[in-house]
Amino acid sequence: MEISESSKLYLENYNVLEQARTEAHQYLERIINQMADEVDEYLKEKANGVIHFSKYVQKGGGLAQFYFERKEPIPGLTSVDKWRFYLEYRDAMRSEYVSSPTRCEVYCMAPKNHSRQNSELIRMNKKLGLPDLFRQIEIELLYIPEDVAVTTIKQQIIALYEQFIKVVEGLIEETEKRSN
């Protein structure tokens, strides 16, 4: 069996490439861990008895999730009986959808089987004239200082969280108006 030219180059430079890979993964892990801790602290400060997000960071990096799950309706909002909503961060280690391996993506996600929740969120989001709640935001990681990358990602996730809260508050207000 023949070995390709690219495989020959890889083997010739194996140690250097493995060292570079290790350093790149450490860099991405520092960003995700710092960002996840800061976002988690913010979300804990904002938590109330109704909406509370939990944190999950995948071992080995590449994915951080902040998720809200509720098995009953939010008080004052009976149109949705179960809630499952995620704020997510993915970098090149866990996403093939970013436009460049030097970028990460931040977005909101909800399971397709929560169609009533999703349709209500989308409807109220449009009614409030807000940007698409489920948009994908890409952030450059390589060509900015590490602390700036962490801050930028954190700000984008917090902005998505605050938009989600506005939409839910809009749904509650609408429900209250209908019942009066």
DSSP-assigned states of every residue in the chain: ----HHHHHHHHTHHHHHHHHHHHHHHHHHHHHHHHHHHHHHHHHH--SS---EEEE-TTSSEEEEEEEESSPBTTBTT-S-EEEEEEEE-TTT-S-SSSTTEEEEEEE--TT-HHHHHHHHHHHHHTTPPPTT--EEEE-SSS-HHHHHHHHHHHHHHHHHHHHHHHHHHHHHHHHHH-
| Number of structural domains found in the chain | 1
> What is the percent of the chain with per-residue pLDDT over 70, rounded to a whole number?
100
Whole-prediction pTM: 0.91
Output the pLDDT for position 178. 83
State pLDDT tens for residues 104-155.
999 999 988 788 899 999 999 999 999 999 999 999 999 999 999 999 999 9
State pLDDT tens for residues 63-89.
999 999 998 888 888 888 889 999 999
For residue 117, the enclosing domain spans 5-179
